């Protein structure tokens, strides 16, 4: 059974957006018996693997979260929520799904803004082990910002035996279209993901070159630019 724990991540010491308070209230309203656990620098070791260390040291906090959320589900089980997810109704009826559950983000990609699993689930373990083998910064200093949705959909799930896979609900279980940014809500919608995409931002050439140099230093000399 999936334990009644809600995990969420906030790295970088920045102030949370005002909207988060609204989403947090929806968690408390519809999931009142759940323990809320924030993961940050104080309770998660960003040096647990090269991927999270390099992401943190180059201030790519969303990708630190990609590792941390998997670690949280692997070691404790529960439900992970992105901080821009609004809960619309109780998820209690889904807690008996023995391998956990997810929802489709698009017609082809599994979403990761809401992830639920019992402690030690095979697919979660496989995803965590994947990150442990990867580097976030390549040898030239360039960050490899592959979305975790693609990693989970194309690299992890095909290798998991069918009987060990989580239940993946169709689009509509989690309202919100990542491509078109529409938010259709149906009677089968349990949550809405607003896809703020904190990892997607435009940069000038000067900033790109600076980040490339910093990435090279992080990869090869373990320099910390997170502060």
Place of tokens 């929520």: 81
pLDDT tens-digit map of 140-198: 888 999 999 999 999 999 999 999 999 999 999 998 755 555 567 888 999 999 877 64
Q: What is the pLDDT of residue 164?
A: 99
Q: In what order do the strands lie in the sheet with 78-81?
A: 35-39, 5-9, 78-81, 114-117, 101-103, 167-169
Domain ranges of the chain: 5-221
Q: What is the pLDDT of residue 86?
A: 96
Q: What is the pLDDT of residue 139?
A: 85
Q: What is the pLDDT of residue 168?
A: 98
Q: What is the rounded CA–CA span in Å between residue 182 and residue 184?
A: 6
DSSP bridge partners of 165: none
Q: What is the pLDDT of residue 203?
A: 55
Residues of the chain scoring pLDDT < 50 = 198-200, 206
Backbone angles phi, psi at 214, to 5 degrees: -65, -40
Q: What is the pLDDT of residue 227?
A: 58
Q: What is the pLDDT of residue 199?
A: 44
Task: Enter the tokens of residue 169.
Answer: 């609900």
Q: What is the rounded CA–CA span in Å between residue 44 and residue 28?
A: 24
SS (H, E, C) 176-218: CCCCCCCCCCCCCCCEEECCCCCCCCCCCHHHHHHHHHHHHHH
Q: What is the pLDDT of residue 136?
A: 96
Q: Assign residue 119 a region: left if phi > 0, alpha if psi is -120 to 50, beta otherwise? A: beta
pTM: predicted TM-score of the whole model, two decimal places: 0.88
What is the Rg, in whole angstroms, of the alpha carbon atoms belonging to the chain?
Answer: 17
DSSP state of 11: -
Half-sphere exposure of 108 (CA within 13 A, CB side): 4
DSSP state of 157: G
- Please identify, in words, the CATH class of the domain defined by 5-221: alpha beta
């Amino acid at each position: 059974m999936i334990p009644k724990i809600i995990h969420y991540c906030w790295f970088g010491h920045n102030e949370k957006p005002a909207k988060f308070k609204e989403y947090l209230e929806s968690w408390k309203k519809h999931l009142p018996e759940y323990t809320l656990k924030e993961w940050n620098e104080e309770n998660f070791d960003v040096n647990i693997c090269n991927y999270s260390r390099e992401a943190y040291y180059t201030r790519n906090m969303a990708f630190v979260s990609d590792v941390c959320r998997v670690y949280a589900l692997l070691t404790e089980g529960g439900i992970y929520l992105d901080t821009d997810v609004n809960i619309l109704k109780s998820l209690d009826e889904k807690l008996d799904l023995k391998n956990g559950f997810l929802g489709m983000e698009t017609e082809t990609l599994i979403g990761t803004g809401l992830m639920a699993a019992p402690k030690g689930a095979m697919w979660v373990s496989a995803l965590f082990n994947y990150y442990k083998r990867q580097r976030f910064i390549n040898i030239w200093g360039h960050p490899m910002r592959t979305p975790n949705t693609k990693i989970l959909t194309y690299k992890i799930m095909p290798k998991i035996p069918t009987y060990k896979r989580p239940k993946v609900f169709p689009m509509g279980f989690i309202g919100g279209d990542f491509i078109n940014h529409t938010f259709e809500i149906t009677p089968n919608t349990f949550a809405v993901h607003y896809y703020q995409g904190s990892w997607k931002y435009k940069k000038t050439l000067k900033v790109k070159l600076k980040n490339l140099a910093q990435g090279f230093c992080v990869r090869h000399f373990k320099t910390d630019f997170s502060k």
